Amino acid sequence: METLEQALQQHFSYPSFRAHQKEIITSILSGKNVFAMLHTGAGKSLCYQLPAAMCEGITIVVSPLLSLMENQVQELKMRGFKRVATYNSFLSYREKKYILSHLTEYKLLYIAPESLHKKEVYERLRQRKVALFAVDEAHCISQWGHEFRTDYLKLGEIKSMLGNPPCLALTATATPIVRKDIIRQLQMDSPVELIATVDRSNISYEVVSAHGKEEKESILLERLAYASFPGMIYAGTRRVAEELAALLKEHTSFRVAAYHGGMTAEDRQLIQQQFLQGTLDVITCTNAFGMGMNKKDIRFVYHYDVPKDMESYVQETGRAGRDGKASEALLLYRNEDLILPRQMIEGEFPKNDEIQQVNHLLTESFSKENVFYFLQDNTSLEETHLRLLIHYWEIWRKEQNKPYDLFVMDQITKRKRQKLKKLREMYDWMNTTTCRREFLLSYFGESMKKKVSVCCDNCGIERTKKRTWREVTTKERDWKKQLAVLFHQYERG
């Protein structure tokens, strides 16, 4: 019988497992449910990819990120794993129909929760043996998590319809209360729990305040003069990401590009590949960048705007230093910047007039299947707001202890309070005069086992010698030629 190490070498050409991977995979292969919290870059995807290659039947991977699904499918195919597909809203009707009618050809299927809830999808999957039901970014299922998504709440029910296969829940950041909620929502019986520390001992933490925009920009440029490269600078909005890229191009010779969700797919793909291949020094980006990106040598992650919670901050800074070498996390802020995350939290929920509009349109005659399309056709609400209101409508229909609009407003008030509480905890971390690493670990229910030599600004950080700006020698190419070079498809001559 082949060992797990032999299977790892055969299917993925890796010489050995990373921490916790073998234990997780062994538990899955023995038919157990597993909850795993592994830090960003710890190799979570292998924990379902290797069992998919080894087991009879199909492995379903539920993921909220379409770009991440596409990236993983392409990477697997490049490694020779061909029996993989992604089912999402980007596909044409014909492509979706082909995948559903050829499920026996696949060992691994990536799918968004919204797609999995469709009757024609789960009915087809019920006809196939499901070897593993994996839920990536599992914190989305918890109402206490930082990225709660209503479509995740039905996953426990879907898993039951599919015959209750072994379930793997994966996340990088979850507090103890969120972990318990994930396990409950997914109906995981006696799961094996593997909780890795969120501590990244090679990353130093620093927070610097500025009195105005000019001072903030000046501090950023000064810090980049000391930095090792490559690095990422997170911005709160698309506009700020673009402005930062322009600032760096004007005042430095670094190779810089902005990245955000408002760009074309071709531009995003080009910039990501340039960064991965080392032809860019700095990416200025929104949180749309970085998820699932396999780059180990990122030396710094700077936040130019304040994240809305500790979970997001830890997940984003965790993209630095995956190679174990010294890296830095810096957060810059002005007092005015504290307004933006509050506005972002407000924007996550429908307004009162939108709630009233839906309240007037809904009647008892609607079924779960047709209410979404009816409201989509008769309102101008964002899809996320629409799904949230329908989720509360389904709960309200069972309870009906008060009018629908008042019920929804109460639920939204509770959610906002929870999010604002997380934001206040972020502010507390920014303003603490004690060890930032110790504070961070305590937030996730851990204690610091060992003091690290380069910890945080409150514990003391020495700066290295200032560098001189490096001249740029690369020539500009149009994006199609650059993309071809990056994928080794450019024809010489």
Bridge partners (DSSP) of residue 256 are 282
pLDDT band at 335 (very low <50, low <70, confident <90, very high): confident
Residue ending a domain, among 138, 168, 195, is 195
Cα–Cα distance between 339 and 127 in angstroms, integer?
A: 51
Burial 40-70, CB ≥16 within 10 A → b, else e: bbbbbbbbbbbbbbbbeebbbbbbbbebbbb
Looking at the fold, whether 190 and 139 belong to one and the same domain comes out as yes
- For residues 295 and 173, is the Cβ–Cβ distance under 8 A? no
Note whether residue 476 is domain-resident: yes
- For residues 178 and 145, is the Cβ–Cβ distance under 8 A? yes
pLDDT band at 159 (very low <50, low <70, confident <90, very high): very high
For residue 130, the model assigns a pLDDT of 96
What is the per-residue pLDDT across 33-80, written as a single tens digit (0 to 9) for each? 999 999 877 889 999 999 999 999 999 999 987 777 887 888 898 888
Task: Tell me the residue range of the domain where 367 lies.
Answer: 348-422
Residue ending a domain, among 128, 163, 195, is 195
Average pLDDT over residues 349-361: 93
Looking at the fold, whether 33 and 179 belong to one and the same domain comes out as yes
Cα–Cα distance between 125 and 50 in angstroms, integer?
A: 20
For residue 436, the model assigns a pLDDT of 98
Write down the pTM of the prediction. 0.86
Note whether residue 493 is domain-resident: no
For residue 368, the model assigns a pLDDT of 60
Tell me how many domains the chain contains.
3
* Cβ neighbours, 10 Å, residue 155: 23
Note whether residue 491 is domain-resident: no
What is the per-residue pLDDT across 105-152, written as a single tens digit (0 to 9) for each? 999 999 999 899 888 999 999 999 999 999 999 999 987 777 788 889
For residue 64, the model assigns a pLDDT of 84
Looking at the fold, whether 226 and 265 belong to one and the same domain comes out as yes
Looking at the fold, whether 445 and 326 belong to one and the same domain comes out as yes
Is the predicted pLDDT of residue 479 greater than 50, yes or no? no
| Helix, strand, or coil (residue 459) | coil
Say which range, 117-126, 145-154, 242-251, 324-333, has the weakest mean pLDDT: 145-154
* Cβ neighbours, 10 Å, residue 346: 12
For residue 146, the model assigns a pLDDT of 75
Is the predicted pLDDT of residue 166 greater than 70, yes or no? yes
For residue 477, the model assigns a pLDDT of 39
Looking at the fold, whether 18 and 144 belong to one and the same domain comes out as yes
Among the listed residues 308, 305, 301, 302, the one whose alpha carbon sits nearest the alpha carbon of residue 335: 305
Average pLDDT over residues 380-385: 90
Residue ending a domain, among 195, 230, 259, is 195
Note whether residue 78 is domain-resident: yes
Give the tokens for residue 432: 């603490």
State the Cα angle at 361 between 356 and 364, rounded to 5°: 115
Among the listed residues 101, 151, 141, 108, the one whose alpha carbon sits nearest the alpha carbon of residue 124: 101
Is the predicted pLDDT of residue 16 greater than 70, yes or no? yes
Prior bond of 230 cis (ω within 30°): yes
Looking at the fold, whether 79 and 36 belong to one and the same domain comes out as yes
Note whether residue 12 is domain-resident: yes
* Cβ neighbours, 10 Å, residue 413: 11
Is the predicted pLDDT of residue 397 greater than 50, yes or no? yes
Looking at the fold, whether 207 and 189 belong to one and the same domain comes out as no
Note whether residue 374 is domain-resident: yes
Note whether residue 427 is domain-resident: no
Looking at the fold, whether 145 and 247 belong to one and the same domain comes out as no
**Which sign does the torsion angle of CA 228, 229, 235, 239 carry?**
positive
* Cβ neighbours, 10 Å, residue 191: 19
DSSP 17-38: PPTTHHHHHHHHHTT--EEEE-
Looking at the fold, whether 269 and 402 belong to one and the same domain comes out as no
- For residues 390 and 371, is the Cβ–Cβ distance under 8 A? yes
DSSP 117-132: TSHHHHHHHHTS-EEE
Order the strands of the 203-209 sheet from edge to edge.
203-209, 327-333, 300-303, 231-234, 282-285, 256-259
Looking at the fold, whether 74 and 43 belong to one and the same domain comes out as yes
Backbone angles phi, psi at 369, to 5 degrees: -75, -40
Average pLDDT over residues 209-227: 94
Q: Which residues contact residue 159 at a Cβ distance below 8 angstroms, ignoring those fewer than 6 apart? A: 133, 165, 167, 186, 187
For residue 465, the model assigns a pLDDT of 55
- For residues 455 and 437, is the Cβ–Cβ distance under 8 A? yes
Looking at the fold, whether 136 and 13 belong to one and the same domain comes out as yes
Looking at the fold, whether 65 and 209 belong to one and the same domain comes out as no
CATH number for position 106: 3.40.50.300
Is the predicted pLDDT of residue 158 greater than 70, yes or no? yes
Average pLDDT over residues 291-300: 85
State the Cα angle at 210 between 205 and 213, rounded to 5°: 120
Is the predicted pLDDT of residue 8 greater than 50, yes or no? yes
More confident residue, 311 or 289: 311
pLDDT band at 459 (very low <50, low <70, confident <90, very high): very high
Burial class of residue 339, CB neighbours in 10 A (0-12, 13-18, 19+): exposed
* Cβ neighbours, 10 Å, residue 157: 13
Is the predicted pLDDT of residue 254 greater than 90, yes or no? yes
Among the listed residues 240, 318, 347, 352, the one whose alpha carbon sits nearest the alpha carbon of residue 42: 318
What is the per-residue pLDDT across 256-280, written as a single tens digit (0 to 9) for each? 999 998 998 789 889 988 999 999 9
Per cent of the chain over pLDDT 90 is 70
For residue 94, the model assigns a pLDDT of 94
Is the predicted pLDDT of residue 474 greater than 70, yes or no? no
Is the predicted pLDDT of residue 370 greater than 60, yes or no? yes
Note whether residue 371 is domain-resident: yes
